[in-house]
Structure 1
Amino acid sequence: MKHTHVLALSAAIAAVSAGAYADTHKFEIHADLGRTFFEDPINDATTWGLGFGYVLNENWTLDAVASQYDTETEAGGFSVDGTQYRLDALYHINTESLWRPYVAFGVGDQKRELSVAGVAEDARDTLLNLGAGVKRDLGGNWEFRTDVRAFNSLDNEYTDLALNAGISYLFGKTAAPVKAAPVVAEPEKDSDGDGVLDSKDQCPDTPKTHKVDEVGCSLKLTETVSIELNITFDTAKAIIKPEFEGEVANLARFMDQYADTIVTVEGHTDSQGSDAYNQKLSQSRADSVKAALITKYGITADRVNAIGYGEAKPAADNATAEGREKNRRVVGNVSTKVTTTETRN
């Protein structure tokens, strides 16, 4: 068929791509030159035309085109002058290339003037057209375009094919979209070196020697510390024997270290003697320890309580000498909760 070689060109046009294309204009004027291949018995003709395009958006453009051609009939060599006016819609396919393919369709009016023996006869057709093409950015305001079209007459049931190429001038440019430079995030800091980034650190300036929790605060360890006092006395005596001075001194040092502590020292006796005597003796033993803490070691009086229990709370069996010795005693216990900061190894 005479149109076969034209149809083959449409596949070649759609396959071309390279570079990058940016559509930033609103209007375009183009001048075209082409070749029309007629189904009627008319010689193929060179066409030329002018068009004006309005860009709707990045995909769609409306295109008003006027074109002309001169040819002859295949039989008799009669002159044929053709004029077309049409309105097309072009849909552009977005690519990252300098070549930008599009499809086109439209409707228009064609007038053919046939001259036979000096007499002109006019014929008019309403044409529908469908085609595909490609545009290439030439830089600046210039653009190359080419397409293949099929024109179908609604009045006379023929279809012509046309191959066109042209140059467009683009104007009404809008500002090209500016791509923001990628923001390179600076690496987060750990200013105090505790292993927790500043964005999550709720305790800045933590010493590097401290263990920290997930929000950068020092880990605290709370524990109970205590000391016990247990000294014994000779029978019927309330004097602290030299070998127990160290026990009293240890209690005093503990109370110096933990100033919020208060101690109660308890005096006790064995079961020998009357209850009244033992009660008084037990109080004297408790008072002697209290006096030593105050006078020898500087513990304030309000931090020491002394209570005598007589023989009421035996620690051992009063039936034996060993048991009675254990019962002649002063005892005390001091404990407190201490919170310390955990450190790294």
Structure 2
Amino acid sequence: MKKGFFLGLLLTAASLHVNAQALMGTNFFDNWYVGLNGGGITPTTHAPFWKSMRGITGLEIGKQVSPVLGFSLQGLTGINTTKSKTAFDDLNISFNGKMNLNNLFGGYNGVPRLFEVEAVAGVGYGHNFQSQAVGDERNYITTRFGSSLNFNLGESKAVTLSLKPAIVYRLDGDRPQALNVNRSKIELLAGVTYHFGNSNGEHYMTLVEPMDPLAIEAVNDKVNHLRGEIQVRDQALAEGAAVIQQLQTQLQNCQNNQPEEVAMVVEQTQVRSLESMVTFNLGSSVIPNSQIPNVERIGIYMKNHPASTVVIKGYASPDGNLEFNQKLAQARAESVKAMLMKKYNISADRITAKGEGITDMFSEPAWNRVSIATLNENNN
């Protein structure tokens, strides 16, 4: 009862651990592998350990369901050392469940560790091959409990070398449901495993940073806003092209001595400045992770347009002390400026940071905890 309860806790912890992560490369055809195993097996009791050991070999096909849980189908056959004339005297096919203890207790960092330990438990079918002169063949159920000591090699972690100690019980004879050590064997295997490529381009699962839904919505709004500005600019370019065409026609008429009176009105189209808004938590001037994309847009634009400059105005909500909020507004503007300088190498002489104190430009007080960065394109 206690063992079952403890196992249930481990499985629950593994499930919660996996669900807490955002993973790529988890489709049905991802994380499959094939392995070749070989080693020896010897009776657990009533026999010399090393002298009674005989060779076994086989294949294993499996899938890693999550960084913690996996399963495999393993087939092993024993090399005959008895009087029977068969080359292989037994066969064991087992379905194994695996739990990666490193990822369960230490978390998964997006890349397999160089060395990892798996706990393995399985149930299978066993069959003894005998020539008629020696005895009858037998079928039976087996269970396996063991571990896998894995060494993940290479930059792509596509190959794993493993040591696989286990104890295998035969469930036949008297009281077949009992795990009788006298009907068990010690299995010592070494194996090499190849992990097939995944849909994410790797041979293992990778982590992705979950996006804040509000940040995604803000990005979409900004994209739509920029698309609107592009449409305005396209319209301005079309109007400019029409004016150029008209001027070219007039020039050609003048060159052909065909003067005509031309009345022309040129309208200037004012292009709106690009802006990006960074919101802050109450009483803080630290840029939240969800707001970094808003700073990144300014930084990337300024790197691509060396002549551009930016004015950053920091604001605070009406809550709290007036003097503190005035300092906080300046600190929020300086925080955005510092990130542009450090992360995107924008020169300080291209950035103006101003603290504008408290504001009530938005009806919701929390929305006034912002820094607004306005770009000056300086395309001339």
Give the structure-1-normalised TM-score: 0.44
Which structure: greater helix fraction? 2
Which structure: greater strand fraction? 1
Q: Point out the structure with max Rg over C-alpha.
A: 1
Give the structure-2-normalised TM-score: 0.40
